[in-house]
Structure 1
Amino acid sequence: MSRLYVLYEHAAGFSVFSVQEFEEVSMFLPTVESSVTDLSRFNSIVKLVSFSPFKTAVAALESINAISEGILPQDLSVYLDDVFSKLKKKKCQLGVSDAKLGAAITEAIGVSCTHIGVVPELLRGIRHHFPKLVKGFTDQSAGVAQLGLGHSYSRSKVKFNVHRSDNMIIQSIALLDQLDKDVNTFSMRIREWYSYHFPELVKIVSENYLFAKAAKFIGDRKSLTEDKLEELEKIVMDASKAQAIFDAAKMSMGMDISIVDLMNIELFATRVVNLSEYRKKLSVYLSNKMENVAPNLQALIGDQVGARLISHAGSLTNLAKYPASTVQILGAEKALFRALKTKSNTPKYGLLYHSSFIGRAGLKNKGRISRFLANKCSIASRIDCFVENPTCVFGESLKQQVEDRLKFYESGEIPKKNIDVMKEAIETVNSQQTNGTSNGTSEKKKKKKNKRKAEEENGNGTAEAPDTSIVKEETNGEPEKKKKKKKNKKQAEE
């Protein structure tokens, strides 16, 4: 009969416990369950074989990270090999908490492992009584070790998890929406404020950003002269508009304004201009983040709609878990529950309404396109979430599918099947990867050749240049032979 041992991973180190044999195997599990809370009874079942503490905090973190991924760390492998070298491995069975770790231990050491049956109850009891089962160990030292390792483990998971960067997308799209509201509110305020002095400017310059820049530049309309027309033309980006502003400033019906009021208007206009410029920079940052985190979703529906979907779902992983029917109505939850309550028609789209595909579709086909687009968005989000090497090839293929579906509703042209499109996309991705590796090696060779040529040309005057003809003749004699033949032909013709 095989002897059962249990491996327990603590924050302080690894330990192996031996389990006492029982004659009746059917009574084994109930006995353990009843004795878990009682130390004296649990001591009669489990006894410590050996304990191997971690040498440093870094070693503890590396070992726990490896165990959490189902990989056997080197320290644990050496420790178990030492323990079971004294015992007969064939007659021993090791209880572990994780099936992947058990498979790795069996492959490396040759000890059969199990994670079912009585093992979970034994591990629960060892976890409960561990400080009292190891000599020189207390509840306080165990708590300190667990707290330190828990903090470092959490920090490393947050640091190295690639899916955490979608938090930056969520924050940036929220800030972008807030900036849009604020810039619009402030622009309306400065239009109303400055229109007391120069009301004609509102009709000439309709854009908020350009109006704020023009108001800041003009200031007092009486100070606008022909010398400032060139600069005003650069701001407004139109010669006719600049001339119209100049003409309107001469014959304006606005009231005169004091210097203090004008200074406050200029300061406020400067703030609005800075906010608008910052909004442009933030949109570029969001585009770069979406390109890194969710390139396929970005290629399919754009930066802002894709970022809003991720923000509304909570993360890219959550969005990937949603079915297409949920993605379709994200952002329209109130309308959905109101429709269910009143037994009326449910909404056809939520955040996807802002996509250009919905606007281009006819009234009859908006619901169909919304359902089809939600399907493609769920596929794109899953690819972005779980693919190792991010690429936008799949997103572009999915976008083309939506375009073909729009054409099908308009003209009846039958689009390609999804299987064929995905096969083509996979082929293009594979070809890009192979070309990338080959191009990388060829570029390295070219760089080496260029370095050699530069060293030969820019070398010291005393140093003699190497005879490249000898190298060429040794490596490949064909070009030299061709040159000699050409020379002989020229001499013969002469």
Structure 2
Amino acid sequence: MIIQSIALLDQLDKDINTFSMRIREWYSYHFPELVSIVPENHLYTKCAEYVKDRKSLSEESVEPLTEILGDSEKAQAIIDASKMSMGMDISPVDLINIQMFAGRVVALSNYRKQIAEYLHTKMNSVAPNLTTLIGDQVGARLISKAGSLTSLAKYPASTLQILGAEKALFRALKTRSNTPKYGLLYHSTYIGRAGLKNKGRISRYLANKCSIASRIDCFSETQTTIYGEKLRQQVEDRLKFYETGDIPMKNIDVMKQAMEEAMQQEQLSAEGSAKKKKKKKKAKKEEPMDED
């Protein structure tokens, strides 16, 4: 389900962008000033669906436009621009088609949000530590590229580091030039925050931590995000080390802390489940007494 969801998410992003650009071109014949006031695709589509004929706008339209945009100044700017617009008049049939198409695009955008929420919950249940470390979408893309979470867990960190950059790797091997430093991991926030000299180093370090997180998620019996939080903190500390030179904790010490916290969490959950079982037994014993 994760592989299909991330593929659908990527396809929806492309389709929504294409359709939004088509609405911009189509509606700009009638109201060209709207593009400069509302540059965002999703909000532009919502405005086009609401406005329809620009001549129908009045001061009463400020409140609905403010609800759509979340900005009263932009809403007033749209009203002012509609009065002095240089756009051509458009037939009612064309306006109906634009409105229907805009409605479909808005519905697709809302559906895309639902898919993103579904993917987030699915990743938290299947790979909680990997999700905590690098996010649900990057983690889902890694799983999709590997084929499954088990396959990803079996990959060494060096392979995980360049997942998604296979063409660049083979091109580099053919031409005997420098091999790529990162693939899908480039979309994580850590590499963007690292300096130019340290991008390759943090990519290698992040791949190592992702490999550990995927193995814990794949082979552990109990689900927990403790390891993912500790691994994420390790990456943050490594970024600080590259910037300031502050020496971070050793990996073995961090993993010991994580194991102790995970054991405590297991004990608490076991005690809680035992108490629930006792309550159920007491309730069952009391039922026949009440009947008598």
Q: Which residue of 1 aligns with 2:35?
A: 202
Q: C-alpha distance in 1, partners of 2:231/2:127?
A: 14
Q: 1:227: how far off?
A: 1.7
Q: C-alpha distance in 2, partners of 1:321/1:442?
A: 39
**Equivalent of 2:257 in 392, 399, 424:** 424
Q: C-alpha distance in 1, partners of 2:72/2:61?
A: 12
Q: Does 1:304 align with 2:137?
A: yes
Q: C-alpha distance in 1, partners of 2:211/2:281?
A: 46
Query: What is the letter of the counterpart of residue 199 of structure 1?
Result: P
Larger radius of gyration: 1
**Equivalent of 1:393 in 221, 226, 229:** 226
Q: C-alpha distance in 1, partners of 2:184/2:111?
A: 25
Q: What is the correspondence of 1:32-431 to structure 2 with a 5 Å cutoff? A: 168-431=1-264
- Structure 1, unmatched stretches of 5+, are 1-167, 450-494
Q: 1:440: how far off?
A: 4.3
After superposition, give the CA deviation of every residue in 1:429-456 in whole Å (9 maximum; x if it has no partner): 111111223344557789999xxxxxxx
After superposition, give the CA deviation of every residue in 1:337-382 in whole Å (9 maximum; x if it has no partner): 1111101000000000001000000000000000000000111111
In 2 relative to 1, CA 214–447 (structure 1 residues): closer, same or farther, beyond 3 Å? farther
Q: 1:390: how far off?
A: 1.4
Query: What is the letter of the counterpart of residue 363 of structure 1?
Result: L
Q: Percent identity?
A: 73
State the secondary structure of the residue aligned to 1:408.
helix
Q: C-alpha distance in 1, partners of 2:133/2:226?
A: 10
Q: C-alpha distance in 1, partners of 2:270/2:106?
A: 46
Q: Higher RCO, 1 or 2 (CA under 8 Å, sep at least 6)?
A: 2
More strand by share: 1
In 2 relative to 1, CA 229–445 (structure 1 residues): closer, same or farther, beyond 3 Å? farther
Q: C-alpha distance in 1, partners of 2:274/2:123?
A: 30
Question: Which TM-score applies when normalising by structure 1?
Answer: 0.56
Q: C-alpha distance in 1, partners of 2:130/2:36?
A: 40
Q: Which residue of 2 aligns with 1:149?
A: none
After superposition, give the CA deviation of every residue in 1:217-274 in whole Å (9 maximum; x if it has no partner): 0000001112222111101111111111111111111110000000000010001100
More helix by share: 2
Number of residue pairs matched by the alignment: 283
Q: C-alpha distance in 2, partners of 1:371/1:255?
A: 56
After superposition, give the CA deviation of every residue in 1:199-228 in whole Å (9 maximum; x if it has no partner): 111111111111111100000000111222
Q: C-alpha distance in 1, partners of 2:7/2:166?
A: 19
Query: What is the letter of the counterpart of residue 438 of structure 1?
Result: E
Question: Which TM-score applies when normalising by structure 2?
Answer: 0.94
Q: C-alpha distance in 2, partners of 1:187/1:299?
A: 32
After superposition, give the CA deviation of every residue in 1:104-158 in whole Å (9 maximum; x if it has no partner): xxxxxxxxxxxxxxxxxxxxxxxxxxxxxxxxxxxxxxxxxxxxxxxxxxxxxxx
Instruction: Name whichever of 243-252 and 430-439 sits farther off.
Output: 430-439
Q: C-alpha distance in 1, partners of 2:135/2:193?
A: 15
Query: What is the letter of the counterpart of residue 293 of structure 1?
Result: V
State the secondary structure of the residue aligned to 1:391.
coil
After superposition, give the CA deviation of every residue in 1:166-188 in whole Å (9 maximum; x if it has no partner): xx000000000000000000111
Q: C-alpha distance in 2, partners of 1:408/1:295?
A: 26
Q: 1:428: how far off?
A: 0.8
Q: Does 1:433 align with 2:266?
A: yes
Q: C-alpha distance in 2, partners of 1:448/1:233?
A: 58
Query: What is the letter of the counterpart of residue 126 of structure 2?
Result: V
Query: What is the letter of the counterpart of residue 208 of structure 1?
Result: N
Query: What is the letter of the counterpart of residue 48 of structure 2?
Result: A
State the secondary structure of the residue aligned to 2:18.
helix
- Structure 2, unmatched stretches of 5+, are 283-292
Moved over 3 A (4+): 439-449
Q: C-alpha distance in 2, partners of 1:347/1:249?
A: 51
After superposition, give the CA deviation of every residue in 1:39-84 in whole Å (9 maximum; x if it has no partner): xxxxxxxxxxxxxxxxxxxxxxxxxxxxxxxxxxxxxxxxxxxxxx
Supply the RMSD in Å over aligned alpha carbons. 1.7
